[in-house]
Amino acid sequence: MAHTSEQMFDLAVAGAGIFGLSIACRALKAGLRVVVLEAEQVGAGSSGGLLGALMPHMPARWNPKKEFQFQALRSLQGEIEDLEAQTGLSCGYRRCGRILPLTTTDKLEHHLERAEESRERWHTAETGFSYVVEPTGSRSDWLDAAAAPHGIVYETLAARVSPRAYLASLAAFIRAKGQLREGARVTGFDEATGAVQVAGSTASLHAKNLVISGGFAAFDMIENLTGERIGRGEKGQALLLDGAGLEEMPAIYCDGLYVVPHEDGTVAIGSTSDREFVDSTPSPSRTTELLQRATTFCPVLDGRKVLSEWAGIRPRCHKRDPLAGLLPGHSSTYAATGGFKISFGIAHLIADCLVCEMTGETPKHPLPETFRSAHHFGANRLEADG
Ligand SMILES: Cc1cc2nc3c(=O)[nH]c(=O)nc-3n(C[C@H](O)[C@H](O)[C@H](O)COP(=O)(O)OP(=O)(O)OC[C@H]3O[C@@H](n4cnc5c(N)ncnc54)[C@H](O)[C@@H]3O)c2cc1C
């Protein structure tokens, strides 16, 4: 094959959401020649949202997935500091901590056990991350005491990031060291020749490997290539309020909602979950509902101006865990999708594992078996989740 060096890449990445950009960034650090092909523009999918909650799983019934996520949340701060130093662009990251209300005596009992277990799981003596039950009325200047009749959990591992600023910083890194093409929808990949097909383009573009990271659209692409549908999209909605003076407050998770103060003086509230949806535009009735629910447990937000509303369709694998790996029956076509609600916290470690799989290096932390193809395809596949 005769290709100019400009058109021949080690890796083509289809999709510039948090997964695709993180993978491209990690591959560039490994010295690979990388092109990111994005159908619309950076952040056009569910990664271009408002919330940016980086929340741990409960420190109970520990498993490899929880350990992976813990290691990811632990290492993300350093990863982001490195990215910010290289690009000069803030990602709006802060380890803000999180409040959870305790609404029943049962919950109080459970969380006291979790607080005990967290010391081992979160290596509190070494890391300083704590998960503590505090009495009724604690931090009631932020979470209304009436919403937490049995006290609260206050934990210090949770963090937040500005989703759009993080994407912009990753994109800047990629543009400086590799290539990022917007308006480039990938429609096919020929493993034998390495030809990558891009809608509406006749220019030849070749890559040794392709990663499909097209968010919920990846499930169609994967089905075309493997004959199996392993996931679906689920719509969620969030909104942004004027949050001046609240920047230093911890995140709250209450009544199924996150309230996340950001460094630019805004507070994000989200998110809802809708399996049935027509498109990704925000619904006014959802906005009203989000505001009502949030101000009930966080009265300080009452009357604050709504700055923007946003909805997106997040990818969810039927098996719930994300997929990161080679597609069955393929030798150079990979997929990374299905992070659902935790993508921002784990994307850099997913990227590390995937790139190490391509280069033969040892990943910083092994990928849980439940994230691998074998868990999602074939006999293990579910038609739909419950
Ligand atoms: C309301 C809401 C709130 C959320 N809050 C959080 C949160 O607080 N914390 C968290 O971690 N996660 C959160 N999530 C989930 C998170 O946003 C998603 O899990 C994550 O963005 C998925 O990233 P992705 O890179 O897999 O896909 P996406 O961000 O959807 O990116 C896919 C990209 O691929 C492009 N594309 C599609 N097909 C092609 C193709 N053929 N060729 C080229 N490009 C293509 C799309 O245009 C898109 O830009 C939230 C989601 C929603 C909806």
DSSP 40-72: S-TT-SGGG-S--EE-PPPSSS--HHHHHHHHH
CA distance 17 to 170: 10
Distance 215 CA to ligand 1 centre (A): 5
Nearest CA to 251 out of 243, 263, 259 is that of 259
Q: What is the residue type of 259?
A: V
Give the confidence band of 280 by pLDDT, cuts at 50, 70, 90: confident
- Angstrom distances, CA of residue 282 to CA of 121, 255, 308, 312: 38, 20, 10, 8
Ligand 1, atom 14, residue with closest C-alpha: 341
Q: State the distance from the centre of ligand 1 to the C-alpha of 382, rounded, in angstroms.
A: 22
pLDDT band at 272, cuts 50/70/90?
confident
CA of residue 148 to ligand 1 center, whole Å: 33
Residue closest by Cα to atom 19 of ligand 1: 340
- Is the CB of residue 46 less than 8 Å from the CB of residue 315? yes
Ligand 1 centre distance from Cα of residue 17 (Å) = 5
- What Cα–Cα distance (Å) separates residue 83 from each residue in 46, 74, 161, 258, 364? 22, 16, 13, 26, 18
Quote the tokens at residue 1.
């094959």
More confident site: 248 or 275: 248
pLDDT bracket for residue 381 (50, 70, 90):
confident
Least reliable range by pLDDT among 86-90, 124-128, 164-168, 274-278: 274-278
Cβ neighbours for 364, distance < 8 A, ≥ 6 positions apart: 71, 75, 349, 352
pLDDT at 342 over 90: yes
Closest atom of ligand 1 to 337 CA is 26
**Model confidence pLDDT, tens digit, residues 207-230:** 999 999 999 999 999 999 999 999
Q: Which atom of ligand 1 is nearest to the CA of 21?
A: 25
Distance 4 CA to ligand 1 centre (A): 33
C-alpha to C-alpha distances, 357 to 76, 140, 260, 298, nearest whole angstrom: 21, 48, 35, 45
Residue 136 CB burial class (10 angstroms; 0-12, 13-18, ≥19): middle
96-159+232-315 in CATH: which number? 3.30.9.10
User: What is the 46 CA–ligand 1 centroid distance (Å)?
Assistant: 3
Q: Choose the residue to mutate in 257, 333, 341, 350 for probing ligand 1, maximizing ligand atoms within 8 Å of C-beta.
A: 341
Edge-first strand listing for the sheet containing 257-261: 131-134, 152-155, 98-101, 251-254, 257-261, 266-270, 231-242, 306-317
Residue owning tokens 């979950």: 273
Closest Cα to atom 3 of ligand 1: 271
Q: Average pLDDT, whole number, for the chain?
A: 95
DSSP 216-274: GGHHHHHHHHHS---EEEEEEEEEEEE-TT-TTSPEEEETTEEEEE-TTSEEEEE---B
Closest CA to 325 of 39, 19, 7: 19
Ligand 1 midpoint to CA 155 (Å)? 27
In the reported structure, the alpha carbon of residue 353 is separated from the centroid of ligand 1 by a whole-number distance in angstroms of: 19
Place of tokens 């993978």: 23
Q: Whose CA is nearest to atom 2 of ligand 1?
A: 236
| Residue-by-residue DSSP string for 101-123 | E--SHHHHHHHHHHHHHHHHHTT
Superfamily the domain 5-48+164-231+319-380 falls into: FAD/NAD(P)-binding domain (3.50.50.60)
Q: How far is residue 3 from each of residues 172, 309, 358, measured CA to CA in Å? A: 26, 46, 22
Q: Which of ligand 1's atoms lies nearest the C-alpha of 51?
A: 8
What is the average per-residue pLDDT within 89-100? 98
pLDDT of residue 45: 97
User: How many Å apart are CA 57 and CA 353, to the nearest integer?
Assistant: 20
Tokens of residue 147, six digits: 């919403």
Residue 19 C-alpha to ligand 1 middle, in angstroms?
Answer: 8
pLDDT, tens digit, 9 for 90 and up, residues 346-373:
999 999 999 999 999 999 999 999 999 9
Q: Which of 314, 340, 371 to mutate to test the pocket of ligand 1 (most atoms within 8 A of CB)?
A: 314
Does the pLDDT at position 87 exceed 50? yes
Of all atoms in ligand 1, which is nearest to the CA of residue 310? 1
Torsion of CA 89, 94, 95, 100, to 10 degrees: -130
In the predicted model, is pLDDT for residue 6 greater than 80? no
Asked whether the predicted pLDDT for residue 83 surpasses 80, the reply is yes
Give me the amino acid identity at 302: D
In this prediction, residues 307-325 reach a mean pLDDT of 96
Nearest-atom number in ligand 1 for the CA of 216 is 30
Pocket test for ligand 1, best of 38, 46, 223 (most atoms within 8 A of CB): 46
Can you give the pLDDT at residue 386? 46
Higher pLDDT, 386 or 332: 332
Q: Whose CA is nearest to atom 37 of ligand 1?
A: 214
Residue nearest to atom 13 of ligand 1 (CA): 341
The domains spanning 5-48+164-231+319-380 and 96-159+232-315 adopt the same CATH topology = no
pTM: 0.96
249-43-68 Cα angle (round to 5): 65
Tell me the β-bridge partners of 310.
238
Angle at 220 between CA 219 and CA 225, to 5 degrees: 95
Q: What is the pLDDT of residue 82?
A: 98
pLDDT reported for residue 273: 81
CA 260 – CA 160 distance, rounded (Å): 7
Percent of the residues in the chain that have a pLDDT greater than 70, as a whole number: 97
pLDDT band at 249 (very low <50, low <70, confident <90, very high): very high
Nearest 5°: phi and psi at 363?
-70, 160
pLDDT tens digits along 33-77: 999 999 999 999 999 999 999 999 999 999 999 999 999 999 999
Q: Give yes or no for residue 4 having a pLDDT over 60.
A: no
| pLDDT over 80 (residue 380) | no
Residues in the ligand 1 pocket, defined by CB under 6 Å: 14-20, 37-40, 44-47, 49, 51-53, 185-186, 213-215, 217, 236-238, 270-271, 312, 314-315, 337, 339-345
- Looking at per-residue pLDDT, the higher value among 342 and 2 belongs to 342
% of the chain with per-residue pLDDT over 90: 91
In the chain, domain spans: 5-48+164-231+319-380, 96-159+232-315
Q: Is the pLDDT of residue 5 over 70?
A: no
* CA-wise closest residue to 288 among 253, 254, 239: 239
Q: How would residue 92 be classed by pLDDT, with cut points 50, 70 and 90?
A: very high
- Encoding tokens for residue 202? 């006749």
Return all residues near 127 (Cβ < 8 A) that are at least 6 apart.
74
